[in-house]
Amino acid sequence: MQAEILIRNVRLPGHDYSAARSTGASAVALSGSQIHWLGDEADAPVADEIVDGGGGWLTPGLIDCHTHLVYAGSRAQEFEERLQGVPYEDIARRGGGILSTVEATRRASEEELFEQSLPRLLALAREGVCTVEIKSGYGLDCDNELKMLRVARALARHSGLTVTTTLLAAHALPPEFSGRADAYIDQVCDVILPAAHAEGLVDAVDVFCESIGFSPLQCEQVFRRARELGLPVKGHVEQLSHSGGAALVASYRGLSVDHIEYLDKSDIDALAESGCVCVLLPGAFYTLNETRKPPLELLREAGLPIAVASDLNPGSSPMASLLLNMNMACVLFGLTPAEALLGVTRHAAAALGLGQCKGALTAGMDADLVLWDIEHPAELSYGHGLVRPRQIWRGGRTVAES
């Protein structure tokens, strides 16, 4: 079958992303929304359109597998407080933190929320991000959680990016349920989650399993309800302390465990057996000025897949840049640039349950591609503000060219 587009004169990363796939010039052929063929340019098929890659590097479209980018308001004042030494936990306990964003998000109309969130999504897209996960969690009641998820779906339609939605109603205890966490979890399971599922607004279910969030028992109640509805689960776990959340997610064969600074050696075997992806969020580590790093060597020794995401949110990671988070994952956590690139492509796709169609340069995969004018893939993690895509394809269509 004749290809529609042939991207020639490019270099392709090898399987481990640390070297070129071939020594000579390579090419990739696209048909419809998928990769049709790739290999040495001399063997390329006939195509309707030919694009000269100019010897640049071609990678899969980047994937940001953990964001909270739909929200209203700003928390710059809290940023000032943290710089003065006020712990994040203290800010959260007195009604700041997540709850201040909840108040602003509840006040915003669906249209206002869309307008405030769109620039954040487009900032990621300009860096070559083609797939984004967006969580709810700043509504904390049925109407506002569904409002956030509707906005996420609208952002996907408007931008052309692939957007997966995650219900994070178990993010914090809303003020109207103060002192009644079990009752709120009942509300999540009996009202919010079924309503989101009925409207087709939710692709996965997340929880904040932490001392300032919810207990493992409460999170398991949410997981059981998600499982009844056929929805995959994931978790914000072991960020501020070791709570047992990672083992819980592993027991439900969740998609991912995220943050994991306090991950324990006892959790590793369970995670390896479950197939969970370990998602590192260096932006939050940096912004909160944390010192406890994820146990990277244990993850490597166990062969666990490691993803990197922006955690874009108004409080602990106000960063609409996946490339910056790749850099920080290398500098702060010790990832290699090749690991960081795998972490925002192949492993990030797996963290969203999309490993069969996104995140790799393989025939039959979605044709989400980014062409970079760089000498080596390490440049994507090397600096910040120095590299931007030359050309982007989403689903086989050119969407940006600089």
Which residue has 């609208």 as its token pair?
154
How far apart CA 299 and CA 319 sit, in angstroms, is 25
**Helix-helix angle 98-107:142-159, to 10 degrees:** 80
Is the pTM value of this prediction over 0.75?
yes
Stretch(es) of the chain classified as CATH 3.20.20.140 = 62-351
CB 387 within 8 A of CB 127: no
Under-70 pLDDT residues of the chain: 18-24, 400-402
Q: What are the residue ranges of CATH 2.30.40.10 in the chain? A: 3-59+360-401
User: What is the structure's pLDDT at 22?
Assistant: 53
- Note the pLDDT of residue 20: 61
At residue 305, the pLDDT reads 98
Q: Which residues pair with 277 in a beta bridge?
A: 256
Q: How far apart are CA 27 and CA 73, in angstroms?
A: 45
> Is the C-alpha dihedral spanning 243, 310, 351, 277 positive or negative?
negative
Report pLDDT for 79: 86
Domain 62-351 has CATH 3.20.20.140: yes
With b meaning 16 or more CB within 10 Å and e meaning fewer, what string describes 180-214?
eeeebbebbbeebbebbbeeebbbbbbbbbbebbb
Q: How do 3-10 and 26-31 pair as beta strands? A: antiparallel
- SS3 category, 181: helix
**Confidence at residue 402, expressed as pLDDT on a 0 to 100 scale:** 41
**What count of other Cβ atoms lies within 10 Å of the Cβ of residue 77?**
10
Q: Are strands 277-280 and 256-259 parallel, antiparallel or unpaired?
A: parallel
The pLDDT score that the predictor gives to residue 400 is 60
The total of other beta-carbon atoms located within 10 Å of residue 170's CB is: 29
Closest by Cα among 333, 294, 351, 30 to 342:
351
Strand partners, 400: 392
Measured CA to CA, the distance from residue 136 to residue 142 in angstroms comes to: 11
CA gap 365, 356 in Å, rounded? 7
Distance, in Å, from the CA atom of 233 to the CA atom of 190, rounded to the nearest integer, reads 17
Regarding the domain with residue range 3-59+360-401, which homologous superfamily does it belong to in the CATH classification? Answer: Urease, subunit C, domain 1 (2.30.40.10)
pLDDT tens digits for 35-75? 999 999 999 999 999 999 999 999 999 999 999 999 999 99
| pLDDT score, position 81 | 87
pLDDT at 93: 76
DSSP letter, residue 189: I
Selection from 301, 293, 296 nearest residue 272 by Cα:
301
